[in-house]
Every structure is written in structure tokens, then in C-alpha cells.
Amino acid sequence: MSFEILTYAFMHRALIAGTAIAILCSVMGLFLVLRRYSLFGDALAHSSFGGIALGLFAGIYPLWTAYGVSIISALLITKIKERYNISGDASIAVLLSSGIAVGLVIISFSGGFSLDIFSFLFGSILLVSVDDTVAIVALTGVILMIILLLYRQILYSTFNEKQAKVSGVQVDKINYLIIILAGVTVVTAVQLVGVLLISALFVIPNVTAIMYGRGFKQTMFISMTIAVSSVIAGILISYVFDITPAGTIVLFAIGVLAVTMGIKSAGLLSKN
């Protein structure tokens, strides 16, 4: 393998943006997985597909409409769950299909699938611009800063809502915050792996890390490491073999999970 690929500017951008997204998704994902919201990212990604189609149709930068739709959907899922007493997984299913349905109808109005739509469906990390890269890194920084500032409250309400409430944590506000941050994270990450594979980035590194980690911070660190290695390895391998980066990234992460499960079955990891 030649190191020539590391000299290309587009490759630099892809690796920087990819690393930022990997860190962001693994951190947000850990909270979502532990809150039993593993498919939440998937639902938001699918509904943001509707937003992307809307943007392309209306001639607005599609990620902006996607952010809007994703955040609104995130809040809607929560409201529907609360107000109509529909279970979490069912409300996610409703929203997931609505997003795709809206997207498909808008696309058919605008005369069928275009190349742009495909790049959002399957990711286009090698095509990120300098502006995209700056925006991705900045958003990652802001979201991580918010999480760091409210770390105890977010962790506590993830661990046990009732006890957090008794301790004076404003659990309802924290829940909304997590949901909005997840909405923003999903759309940011769409550029890396596309709408269809988002939840892989949220869930797989975390499910793996939970098997290794002792404490929360350690688990978070392991998850970040797995996510970042998967993204970097995935981008480089896919380039060398001329295959899709999104699929390669996710397969690499699944490989790490499979190896971890093997180690665990062999009894080399503690029971939890």
C-alpha cells in the first residue's frame, strides 16, 4: 500500500471530518444505547432523509433542512411517546417510515433520484469540502463541550431518572437536550456513512466498548477509540480497494465487535 493517498487534500479532509464524526457519534451513542434508544439515531436519519429531499426540491442547502427536520422529529418522537402512551420502539417506527415516505414523495415530484440523493443515502466522506469539514469539527466541539459541562446530570439521568430527579437534576430538560443533540449529531454524521448506516456508528462501537469497559469514562474512551479506528481504517481500505467507504467503516466496526464477542465467549473478559 502506498502512502501517496495520505498526501491528497480530499483525503485529509475526509480523515479529519471522519474522526470528528466518529468521536461525536460514539459519545452520543453511548448515552442513547444505555437509555435503550439504540434505534433512535436510525429514525432521525430516516426522517432527515425527508429533510434532505425537501432541501434539494426547494433549492435550499439540504443539510439545513435536514437539521430542521431531524430536530423537529426528535422532539415529536418524545412528545408522541409521552402524550399518547405509545411505546418508544413503536413511535420510532412511525417516524422512521414517515421520513422516508415524505422523502420519496418529494423526490418523485422533483423527477426522480439524483446523484445528490444517493450521496446522502450512502455517505460521501471523500467529497466533503473545506467548509463542511470546518462545520463538522466545530459542531463536534460544541456538542462535546455541552456534554462535558452537563456530564454529571446527563450521566445521572441516564443511570436512573427517578433518583436523578430526587437529587434535583432537571431530568426532563436533560432528556430534551440529549434528543436535540442526537438530532444534530445524526445529520452531521450523514455525510460520513449516509442515512442508511447511521445507527451502526451510534451502536456498534458502544456495544463493543461496554463489554470491555469497567467504568463509564473508560467505556466512553474505548468506544471512541473503536469508532475512530474503524473510520480511519474504513476510509483508507475502501480507497485502496476502490469500494464504498461507508460500508467498509461499518464492516470494520462489526469485525471488532465479532472479535470482542469471540474473546468474551472464550472467557477472557469479565462476566459483565
Partner 1 sequence: MLNAVEISNLTVKYPDVTALDDVSFAIKQGDFLGIIGPNGAGKSTLFDSMLGLNTNYDGTIKFFDEDIKKSKTYRKEIGYVPQKPEFENNFPATVSEVVRMGLRKKSDDKKVDEILQQLWIHELRNRRIGELSGGQLQRVFIAKALVNDPKILILDEPSTGVDQQSIDLFFSILKELNSKQGITIIWSSHDLDAVNKLANHVACLNRTLFFHGKSETFFSDDKLVKQYSEASMQEHMHHH
What DSSP line would sit under 232-263, residue for residue?
HHHHHHHHHHT--HHHHHHHHHHHHHHHHHHH
Q: Which lies closer to partner 1 via its Cβ, residue 87 or residue 270?
A: 270
Q: Which lies closer to partner 1 via its Cβ, residue 97 or residue 167?
A: 167
Residue 210 as a binder of partner 1 (CB under 8 A): the answer is yes
Distance, CA of 69 to CA of 75 (rounded, Å): 10
Cβ 272 to partner 1 shortest distance, Å: 4
Cβ 206 to partner 1 shortest distance, Å: 9
Residue 215 as a binder of partner 1 (CB under 8 A): the answer is yes
Distance, CA of 17 to CA of 130 (rounded, Å): 10
Cβ 163 to partner 1 shortest distance, Å: 6
Q: Are 253 and 25 in contact (CB under 8 A)?
A: no
User: In the window 218-237, what residues touch partner 1 (CB under 8 A)?
Assistant: 218-219
Residue 270 as a binder of partner 1 (CB under 8 A): the answer is yes
Distance, CA of 191 to CA of 202 (rounded, Å): 14
Residue 271 as a binder of partner 1 (CB under 8 A): the answer is yes
Q: Are 92 and 43 in contact (CB under 8 A)?
A: yes
Of 72, 167, 240, 243, the one binding partner 1 by CB under 8 A: 167
Cβ 153 to partner 1 shortest distance, Å: 9
Q: Applying CB under 8 A, what is the total number of residues that bind partner 1?
A: 26
Measured in degrees and rounded to the nearest 5, phi and psi for residue 270 equal -65, 165
Q: Which lies closer to partner 1 via its Cβ, residue 83 or residue 162?
A: 162
Q: What is the dihedral of CA 250, 256, 262, 264, to 10 degrees?
A: -120
Q: Which lies closer to partner 1 via its Cβ, residue 51 or residue 213?
A: 213
Of 165, 170, 232, 233, the one binding partner 1 by CB under 8 A: 165
**Residue of 201, 160, 158, 193 whose CA lies nearest to 177:** 158
**All three cell numbers of 198:** 447511521
**All three cell numbers of 24:** 461525536
- The 123-162 contact track toward partner 1, x by CB under 8 A, reads -----------------------------x--xx--xx-x
